[in-house]
């Protein structure tokens, strides 16, 4: 089935991004003074941080900008377009310092003299912190693949980290997506659980302790440890397992290549 050329591309899709030219300021004409694209996106991010992506709308943004919705529509066709740029601006918060880490690792130095594993963990933790700082964009990252300018830069830096350290292209791609999806999934899960106090520490310990040990022997043995793990420790533990697994996968490939 061919795509209708007259059909408008979905904001954030590959076809949509292919039609995007560098954003230029448009004249405001008569009436209200012009509002820059940069200010619109920055204020939109502040709004999403405050109310979430679902509640965000053009009227709300216009009020925060002390402008009118017509000003917004001079630059963007819809709120969905604005949200695409909001996501890309968030990813831009970490791409600058990530490039320095990647360049060091490409030269065999790594972060503080360590190998790619440390650089990978450091980059994943920075991305996790950025996502936790802006939890309102998490639903948007579920519904789209971030391929804007900053999203592509971040993806390029992540894949380069693996390629420069001996990963074949296919394994480098799998490594990047595995780490990125782990970070995103963990951030989404923690954000969704953060609003509820129903499953917090002491209550869970008490609940697990009250279970029948004959019916749930494993929970009886380990239950007291389940709620005691901090979010940060849990994140780092899982991330280390992934990185260790990638290290093993690379070693196996090298051993296989050495036997040929």
Give the span between the Cα atoms of 68 and 78, in whole angstroms. 14
Give mean pLDDT, residues 13-39.
Answer: 74
Number of residues that this document lists for the chain? 260
Q: Tell whether the model's pLDDT for residue 102 goes beyond 70.
A: no
More confident residue, 258 or 52: 52
Name the percent of the chain lying above pLDDT 90. Answer: 67
pTM over 0.75: yes
Kindly report which listed range (36-40, 105-109, 135-139) carries the lowest average pLDDT score: 105-109
Asked which of 45-54, 158-167, 188-197, 224-233 is least confident by mean pLDDT, the reply is: 188-197
| Domains defined along the chain, listed by start | 14-80 (1.10.10.60), 92-258 (1.10.357.10)
171-194, pLDDT tens digit by residue?
Answer: 999 999 999 999 999 999 888 755
Q: Quick check: 9 and 16 in contact, CB under 8 A?
A: yes
The whole-chain average pLDDT of the chain stands at 86
Least confidently predicted of 32-36, 72-76, 206-210: 32-36
At residue 227, the pLDDT reads 81
Confidence of residue 204 (pLDDT cuts 50, 70, 90): confident
Query: Which of 143, 119, 141 lies closest to 131 in space, CA to CA?
Result: 141
Nearest-angstrom CA–CA distance, 48 and 134: 8
Phi, psi of 43 (to 5 degrees): -70, -35
Separation of CA 66 from chain center: 30
Q: Spell out the long-range contacts of 243-250 with Cβ–Cβ below 8 A and sequence spacing 24 or more.
A: 243/117, 243/120, 243/121, 243/179, 246/120, 246/162, 246/171, 246/175, 246/178, 247/117, 249/171, 250/166, 250/167, 250/171
Rounded-to-integer distance, Cα 131 and Cα 48, Å: 13
Residue 2 has a pLDDT of 44
What is the structure's pLDDT at 178?
A: 98
From the list 72, 37, 71, 38, the residue with the least C-alpha distance to 56 is: 72
Tokens of 173: 């791609």
Distance CA 76, CA 146 (A): 18
- CA distance to 2, 9, 16, 51, 221, per residue, from 5 (Å): 9, 9, 12, 36, 61
Phi, psi at 146, each rounded to 5°: -75, 100
User: Quick one: pLDDT at residue 20?
Assistant: 83
Count Cβ atoms below 10 Å from residue 205 Cβ, excluding itself. 16
Q: Which residue has the tokens 């030219």?
A: 21
In the prediction, which pLDDT does 62 show?
97
- Return the pLDDT at 196: 52
Mean pLDDT of the region 42-70:
96
Average pLDDT over residues 142-149: 92
């Amino acid at each position: 089935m061919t795509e209708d050329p007259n059909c408008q591309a979905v904001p954030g899709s590959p076809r949509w991004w292919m039609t995007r030219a560098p954003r230029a300021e448009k004249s405001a004409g008569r009436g209200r003074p012009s509002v820059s694209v940069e200010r619109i996106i920055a204020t939109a991010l502040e709004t999403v941080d405050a109310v979430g992506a679902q509640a965000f709308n053009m009227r709300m943004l216009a009020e925060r900008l002390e402008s009118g919705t017509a000003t917004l529509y001079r630059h963007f066709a819809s709120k969905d377009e604005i949200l695409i740029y909001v996501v890309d601006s968030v990813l831009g918060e970490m791409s600058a310092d990530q490039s320095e880490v990647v360049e060091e690792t490409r030269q065999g130095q790594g972060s503080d003299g360590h190998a790619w594993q440390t650089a990978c963990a450091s980059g994943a933790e920075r991305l996790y912190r950025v996502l936790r700082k802006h939890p309102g964009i998490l639903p948007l990252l579920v519904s789209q693949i971030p391929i804007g300018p900053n999203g592509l830069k971040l993806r390029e830096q992540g894949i380069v980290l693996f390629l420069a350290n001996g990963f074949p292209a296919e394994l480098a791609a799998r490594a990047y997506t595995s780490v990125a999806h782990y970070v995103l999934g963990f951030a989404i899960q923690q954000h969704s659980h953060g609003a509820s106090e129903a499953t917090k520490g002491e209550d869970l310990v008490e609940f697990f302790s009250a279970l029948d040990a004959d019916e749930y022997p494993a929970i009886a043995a380990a239950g007291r440890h389940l709620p005691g793990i901090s979010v940060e420790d849990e994140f780092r533990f899982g991330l280390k397992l992934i990185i260790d697994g990638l290290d093993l996968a690379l070693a196996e490939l090298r051993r296989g290549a050495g036997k040929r």
